[in-house]
Amino acid sequence: MSHRIFVTGIGIVCAAGNSASETLSSLAAQKSGISGMQYLDSRLKDLFPVGEVKLSNKDLCDNLSLPIKNYSRTYLLALAAAREAAGEMIENYNSSRLGIVSGSTVGGMDLSEKYFQSVYAGIDADISDLKQHDCGFSTEFIADKLGIKGYLSTVSTACSSSANSIIHASMLIKSGIIDAAVAGGVDSLAKFTLNGFNSLKILDSKLCSPFDENRNGLNLGEGAAFLFIESERSASSHMNDVICEIKGFGNSCDAFHQTAMSEEGIGPKLAMRSALNSALLDPSEIDYINLHGTGTSNNDLSEGLAIEEVFSGAIPFYSSTKSYTGHTLGAAGAVEAVISALSLKTNTIYPNINFATRMKELSTAPVSAIMKKDNLRNIMSNSFGFGGNNSSIIFSKVE
């Protein structure tokens, strides 16, 4: 029995683009989607740029052919990306053998915030809006709209949520529980998360510069991204649609701190080594790492030192694409999984835009210009979350 997992569809909506093709165009043009707030009404709107999707909720409803209702923005973004990833392939499957695993941390918090704001202001509000608060609502929403009747699960492990969704779905396929899955995640911007990150003093008032010596924090973003993944047997009838293979993955939890990683990068090292072992690859076989790379002092130092130890003597090219999208929280792992798939498809490494100065603690620096690499074969994508939940996934070209 083959345990290979193939990616045959990708979908994304983020600050850099409203589809995979638009996002690819922004990456190729080195164009960041991070700008001032347009849709989130926050007292901090003039202080911090964000990676906001350039569509209103009405625009999203129109694009999805949905009636204009009081939907959470989270679920509209999720459906847009999931529908693009699944495409027409979903019609070829027994719905009971098809799964969906989605990661989120914000859920329908945007509607909850509006509800309580109205209540405090003495304005009539519909308490039924609170039904959408739960993170699992978005998964059910996608399953209902796409007709998925098999396995359904929601993952919430902070900023590694959607990476863990991809890992979980891959394990389900490997074990024969399902044949294929829509796997990824979503988060929209909310006042709660913006204020929370501001209280931690890790938001940058300018465009973020991950892995730069003078980095000053992160830019929050929003978005959704999903992969359509299949077993080898399931994909065998349409191998021409295969984008890449999920070669291996690893997860660890060092439980070092609620909002920080150990300076030695213990958790990241464990996750990356586990992924390499799962993929049966030597560190020297990784060609590029899509960093978690948030732009905070703690994350970049911890991740950088961990990479230098795991890949000692053969450090791959690396960069953080959060400089294009912002940090999309629970969606980050899936957003960067889609970008990794696009890198393999185009044989291109997309750079850290805004990078200027190498960190003094590191011996190497991230890629800072577009790099074409014909022998790009194996990409590691890192996603590290609050509470020490760390995940690494390896995507590989199918020969």
- What pLDDT score was predicted for residue 1? 52
- What pLDDT score was predicted for residue 261? 74
Structure tokens given for 341: 């798939």
Q: Indicate the residue type of 351.
A: P
**Residue 292 annotated in active site:** yes
List C-alpha distances in Å: 38 to 60, 113, 204.
15, 17, 18
What is the Cα 259 distance to its own chain's centre?
A: 18
**Residue 208 annotated in active site:** no
Three-class DSSP category at 34 = coil
- What pLDDT score was predicted for residue 26? 98
Could you tell me where the DSSP H helices lie in the chain? Answer: 20-28, 57-63, 73-86, 109-120, 136-146, 161-174, 191-199, 232-235, 266-279, 297-310, 322-325, 332-346
How many Cα atoms are found within 13 Å in the side-chain-facing hemisphere of 373?
Answer: 23
Give DSSP secondary structure letters for 205-249: SS---TTBTT---B-BB-EEEEEEEEEHHHHGGGGGG--EEEEEE
Catalytic residue among 14, 133, 244, 327: 327
Q: Are 377 and 279 a contacting pair, CB within 8 Å?
A: no
Structure tokens given for 250: 């690893």
CA 29 – CA 36 distance, rounded (Å) = 20
How many Cα atoms are found within 13 Å in the side-chain-facing hemisphere of 33?
Answer: 30
Catalytic residue among 14, 133, 168, 292: 292
Q: Of 305, 315, 299, 320, which is closest to residue 360 (Cα–Cα)?
A: 305
Q: pLDDT tens digits, the chain, 399 residues: what are they?
A: 568 999 999 999 999 999 999 999 999 999 999 999 999 999 999 999 999 999 999 999 999 999 988 899 999 999 999 999 998 877 777 777 999 999 999 999 999 999 999 898 899 888 888 988 999 999 999 999 999 989 999 999 989 999 999 999 999 999 999 999 999 999 999 999 999 999 999 999 999 999 999 999 999 999 999 999 999 999 888 888 999 999 999 999 877 766 667 778 898 999 999 999 999 999 999 999 999 999 999 999 999 999 999 999 899 999 999 999 999 999 999 999 999 999 999 999 999 999 999 999 999 999 999 999 989 999 999 999 877 789 999 999 997
- What pLDDT score was predicted for residue 387? 72
End-to-end CA distance of the chain: 20
Structure tokens given for 102: 């989605």
CA 89 – CA 91 distance, rounded (Å) = 5
CA 25 – CA 22 distance, rounded (Å) = 5
Catalytic residue among 14, 135, 159, 208: 159
CA 76 – CA 60 distance, rounded (Å) = 6
> For 291, phi and psi rounded to 5 degrees?
-65, 155
CA 142 – CA 66 distance, rounded (Å) = 13
Q: Of 393, 9, 6, which is closest to residue 179 (Cα–Cα)?
A: 6
Q: Which residue has the tokens 């629970």?
A: 330
User: Regarding beta strands 152-155 and 98-103, do their DSSP bridges make them parallel or antiparallel, or are they unpaired?
Assistant: parallel
Burial of 344: CB neighbours in 10 Å, binned 0-12, 13-18, 19+: buried
**Residue 238 annotated in active site:** no
